[in-house]
């Protein structure tokens, strides 16, 4: 399986396995099937209620089509880079820095679907607006994925994203990356005195504490870090450690 070595922004290089082409295609097929099923069922329900009456029915169908239109950006934004198809096939969208994509990056990928998969070209050819040989342009996105060294379609290249395979020994979450919500206010600028190795260890400690419910460890680690950095804090030890991790992500992403 192809992989790409990315600098996560913390002076740590991590190998991410790139999603195989067939997984992306199967994920796309599952998502399309889901959207068609949704539209078919909703159309059946509307027809059952409206019968032969056409007054207002077309507008209802248009409104019910909106979820299909925004399916990709909405799902990817809400589920951190996955749709139903991507989730089932074990693939995810991340940035070229190895972190979580932003809303603008998801939207860029979505907008460039009209370039990667320009199905409208078939309609243009059918109406005579374009010559028949323009049909090869409908495979531009697929060709880009095959030819790109990071298996990126045009939307990925423009947005600065890649699609990785998540079911591997090297997980996307195996970095110090931690999601920081919009408007987050850091509390401990002293965290930048810690090394990348310290932060990686810290994340491992936090996960261990949560799995084993051993909060004595978090207390001892928190006290040691407070002493080392000269921090005064009345936060719960585990909350304090999680705040440090978020603060580090905030300052390194700034």
At 132-175, the pLDDT tens digits run 777 777 778 888 888 888 889 999 999 999 998 887 655 545 55
Q: What is the pLDDT of residues 42-77, one digit of tens each?
A: 888 877 777 656 565 667 767 778 888 899 999 999
* Residue 9 confidence (pLDDT): 45
The whole-number pLDDT of residue 224 equals: 86
- Identify whether residues 154 and 244 lie together within a single domain: no
Confidence (pTM):
0.63
pLDDT in tens, 4-24: 665 544 444 556 788 888 999
Predicted pLDDT at 2: 62
- 150 and 27: one domain? yes
Q: Residue 17 is inside which H or E element, if any?
A: strand 13-17
**Residue 184 counted as domain residue:** no
Range of the domain at 234: 189-253
DSSP letter (8 states) at residue 96: T
Is 182 a member of any domain? no
Burial string for 117-139 (b: 16+ CB within 10 Å, else e) reads bbeebeeebeeeebeeeeeeebe
Q: How many domains does the chain have?
A: 2
Domain end, chosen from 131, 165, 199, is at 165
Which pLDDT tens digit goes with each residue over 88-138?
Answer: 999 999 888 767 788 999 999 999 988 887 767 767 777 777 787 777 777
Mark whether 193 and 153 lie in a shared domain: no
Which pLDDT score is estimated for 10? 42
């Amino acid at each position: 399986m192809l992989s790409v070595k990315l600098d996560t922004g913390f002076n740590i290089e991590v190998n991410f396995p790139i999603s195989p082409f067939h997984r992306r295609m199967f994920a796309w097929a599952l998502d399309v099937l889901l959207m068609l099923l949704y539209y078919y069922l909703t159309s059946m329900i509307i027809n059952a209620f409206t019968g032969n009456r056409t007054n207002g029915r077309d507008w209802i169908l248009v409104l019910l089509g909106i979820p299909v239109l925004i399916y990709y950006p909405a799902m990817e934004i809400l589920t951190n880079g996955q749709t139903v198809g991507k989730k089932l096939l074990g693939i995810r969208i991340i940035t070229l820095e190895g972190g979580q994509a932003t809303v603008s990056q998801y939207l860029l990928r979505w907008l460039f679907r009209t370039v990667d998969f320009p199905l409208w070209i078939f309609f243009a050819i059918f109406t005579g607006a374009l010559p028949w040989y323009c049909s090869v342009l409908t495979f531009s996105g697929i060709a880009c994925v095959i030819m790109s060294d990071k298996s990126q379609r045009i939307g990925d290249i423009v947005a600065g994203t890649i699609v990785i395979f998540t079911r591997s020994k090297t997980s996307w979450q195996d970095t110090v990356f931690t999601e920081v919500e919009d408007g987050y206010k850091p509390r401990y600028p002293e965290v930048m005195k810690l090394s990348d190795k310290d932060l990686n260890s810290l994340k491992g400690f936090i996960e261990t504490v949560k799995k084993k419910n051993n909060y004595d460890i978090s207390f001892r680690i928190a006290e040691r870090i407070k002493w080392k950095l000269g921090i005064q804090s009345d936060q719960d030890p585990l909350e304090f450690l999680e705040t440090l991790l978020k603060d580090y992500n905030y300052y390194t992403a700034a």
